[in-house]
């Protein structure tokens, strides 16, 4: 009768929910970054409070950090304020005893890339971070969701949150994905299907044979964008793919503890007769290479489609912002920028997919292409395979890890009016810089478009 979500939830209830009060929910892992934590640490300091569980708190630097290397020992921060924000997290980490994966640690990177690759993210956990893409960690069968800064303070001080249990939604993707279809295509298709508010109030469990066939990087891409459908949390039940990914990661259990953990994790599946509040069924064969044409992630279309006509006010505004004519073919639209990276698509398999399109090719002279690995480890692993040589030979920029052009708060921006094909997660107006236009796409579509200088269908699709 019980869903995966309910099983994990029940294991973390400290005080049960009543009509008068939400549950007190225990948090196993609190990930912290420089942007949403300073005011929370200040709150603790002003009340004279300590951090309850430094051992369950892990910090890194990603949003405000430059992706260009140091010059004369100085990182080129976009502003003094950004530099100060990074310094503030360093100070807070030292004062409160938080482990910080800093520059020089070899473990720094985007918080949602670092947690899994370090093995800190594990099945059955509750994981929070002051970042809406915390849903990424649900790929491991964890309940993981983004919180605001007040709640960051709550978790720092009490290791708990006040939460009402959300409704549950099963999204079943059955059958075999067509050749060349990636997890990014799957999630853009799902958001297009249920809408940008379709998941509001729900925790999603992604199920079905097409989901099982995804590797962990793909499952992370999928869960990452749950919030773009309004769902704070998206999950995939852990299985042998999950366990193989985690085994021997630095922070994963070892030896007998590993065996015990896997035995426990195998129980983390929805029962056959589990009841969900909503069920959505999607045929894997219906999913084509999918991108966005408009100004929110639900305004999606397959590459064979045209920009929707229709006089809906919001569509009209989106078409004007993006510079489309109604009915214009998507493929062939000239582009200015390609961004490969982010917590959505900044992992090793994403860089491989992009490099695969670029091998022996040149980035079109009109296009600026930025490749930003998700973490120090992704960068090392990519360089060990020679992927950076492919990018550099093609004329792309190969940068240091960080959120970079996804949120465009570190100086990596798309210029006003320019059109970017981006592997990130949000195509809101101005998301990648004031006046910037964004087409969300998979790494393969983005890289193929970089070569063509226009939105293109990748090879092998």
Partner 1 sequence: MQPITQLRATTFVLREDNIDTDQIIPARFLTTTERSGLGRAAFYDWRFAANGAATAHPLNTEAAGHAILVAGNNFGCGSSREHAPWALLDFGFRAVISSEIADIFRSNALKNGLLAIVVDPAAHAFLLAHPRIELRIDLETMTILGPDGWSTRFALDAFARRCLMMGVDQLGYLLAQDEAIAAFESARAA
Contact set with partner 1 (CB under 8 A): 14-15, 19-22, 24, 26, 35-36, 38-39, 42-43, 47, 49, 52, 63-64, 78-79, 81-82, 84-85, 88, 130-132, 134, 146-151, 153-154, 157-162, 164, 166, 196-197, 200-201, 227, 230, 232, 296, 314, 317, 407-409, 416, 426, 428-431, 434-435
**b/e code 293-306 from CB counts within 10 Å (16+ = b):** bbbbbbbbbbbeee
DSSP state of 128: E
Shortest reach from residue 231's CB to partner 1, in Å: 8
Enclosing H/E stretch for 13 = strand 13-15
**b/e code 77-105 from CB counts within 10 Å (16+ = b):** bbeeebbebbeebeebbeebebbbbebee
Shortest reach from residue 165's CB to partner 1, in Å: 12
Cβ-Cβ contacts under 8 Å for 390 (sequence gap 6 or more): 355, 358, 359
Which residue, 102 or 429, has its beta carbon nearer to partner 1? 429
Shortest reach from residue 430's CB to partner 1, in Å: 5
Which residue, 227 or 448, has its beta carbon nearer to partner 1? 227
Cβ-Cβ contacts under 8 Å for 279 (sequence gap 6 or more): 169, 170, 172
Q: CA-CA distance, 184 to 445, in Å (whole number)?
A: 10
DSSP state of 3: -
Neighbours of 429 (CB within 10 A): 17
Which residue, 139 or 156, has its beta carbon nearer to partner 1? 156
Shortest reach from residue 439's CB to partner 1, in Å: 16
Which residue, 75 or 196, has its beta carbon nearer to partner 1? 196
Nearest 10 degrees: Cα torsion 113, 145, 439, 303: 100
Name the burial class of residue 384, with classes exposed (0-12), middle (13-18) and buried (19+) by CB atoms within 10 angstroms of its CB: exposed
Enclosing H/E stretch for 340 = strand 337-340
Shortest reach from residue 19's CB to partner 1, in Å: 6
Shortest reach from residue 431's CB to partner 1, in Å: 5
Q: CA-CA distance, 379 to 349, in Å (whole number)?
A: 12
The CB-side HSE value for 252 (13 A sphere, CA atoms) comes to 24
Shortest reach from residue 154's CB to partner 1, in Å: 5
Q: How many residues does the chain have?
A: 461
**b/e code 390-425 from CB counts within 10 Å (16+ = b):** bbeebbbebbbbbbbbbbbbbbbbbeeebbbbbbbb
Shortest reach from residue 229's CB to partner 1, in Å: 10
Which residue, 197 or 325, has its beta carbon nearer to partner 1? 197
Shortest reach from residue 12's CB to partner 1, in Å: 9
Which candidate, 273, 304, 275, places its Cα nearest to that of 291?
A: 304
Which residue, 296 or 399, has its beta carbon nearer to partner 1? 296
Percentages (nearest 5) of helix, strand, coil residues in the chain: 35, 20, 45
Shortest reach from residue 247's CB to partner 1, in Å: 23
Which residue, 132 or 193, has its beta carbon nearer to partner 1? 132
Which residue, 7 or 388, has its beta carbon nearer to partner 1? 7
């Amino acid at each position: 009768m019980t869903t995966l979500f309910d099983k994990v939830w029940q294991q973390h209830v400290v005080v049960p929910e009543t009509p008068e009060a939400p549950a007190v929910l225990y948090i196993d892992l609190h990930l912290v970054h420089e942007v949403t934590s300073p005011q929370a640490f200040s709150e603790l300091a002003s009340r004279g409070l300590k951090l309850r569980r430094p051992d369950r708190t892990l910090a890194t630097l990603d949003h405000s950090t430059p992706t260009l290397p140091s010059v004369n020992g100085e990182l080129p921060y976009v502003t003094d304020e950004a530099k100060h924000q990074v310094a503030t997290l360093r100070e807070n980490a030292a004062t409160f005893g938080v482990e910080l994966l800093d520059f020089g640690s070899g473990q720094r990177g985007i918080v949602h890339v670092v947690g899994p690759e370090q093995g800190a993210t594990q099945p059955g956990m509750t994981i929070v971070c002051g970042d809406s893409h915390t849903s990424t960690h649900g790929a491991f069968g964890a309940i993981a969701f983004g919180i605001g800064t007040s709640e960051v303070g709550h978790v720092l001080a009490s290791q708990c949150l006040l939460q009402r249990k959300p409704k549950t939604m099963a999204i079943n993707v059955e059958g075999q994905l067509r050749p060349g279809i990636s997890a990014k295509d799957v999630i853009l298709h799902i958001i297009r299907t249920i809408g940008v508010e379709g998941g509001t109030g729900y925790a999603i469990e992604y199920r079905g044979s097409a989901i099982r066939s995804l590797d962990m990087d793909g499952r992370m891409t999928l869960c990452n964008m749950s919030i773009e459908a309004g769902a704070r949390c998206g999950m995939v039940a852990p299985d042998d793919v999950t366990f193989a990914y985690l085994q021997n990661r630095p922070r994963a259990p070892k030896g007998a503890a590993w065996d015990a953990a896997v035995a426990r994790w195998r129980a983390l599946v929805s029962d056959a007769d589990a009841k969900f509040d909503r069920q959505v069924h999607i045929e894997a064969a219906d999913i084509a290479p999918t991108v966005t044409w408009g100004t929110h992630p639900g305004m999606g279309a397959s590459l064979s489609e045209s920009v929707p006509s229709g006089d809906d006010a919001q569509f009209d505004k989106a078409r004007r912002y993006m510079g489309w004519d109604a009915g214009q073919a998507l493929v062939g639209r000239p582009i200015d920028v390609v961004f490969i990276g982010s917590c959505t698509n900044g992992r090793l398999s994403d860089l491989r997919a992009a490099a695969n399109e670029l091998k022996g090719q040149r980035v079109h002279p009109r296009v600026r292409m930025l490749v930003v690995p998700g973490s120090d480890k992704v960068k090392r692993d990519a360089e060990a395979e020679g992927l950076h040589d492919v990018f550099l030979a093609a004329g792309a920029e190969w940068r240091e890890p960080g959120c970079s052009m996804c949120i465009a708060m570190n100086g990596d921006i798309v210029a006003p009016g320019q059109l970017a094909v981006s592997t990130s997660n949000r195509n809101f107006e101005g998301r990648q810089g004031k006046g910037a236009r964004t087409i969300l796409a998979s790494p393969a579509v983005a890289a193929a478009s970089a070569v063509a200088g226009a939105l293109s269908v990748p090879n092998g699709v």
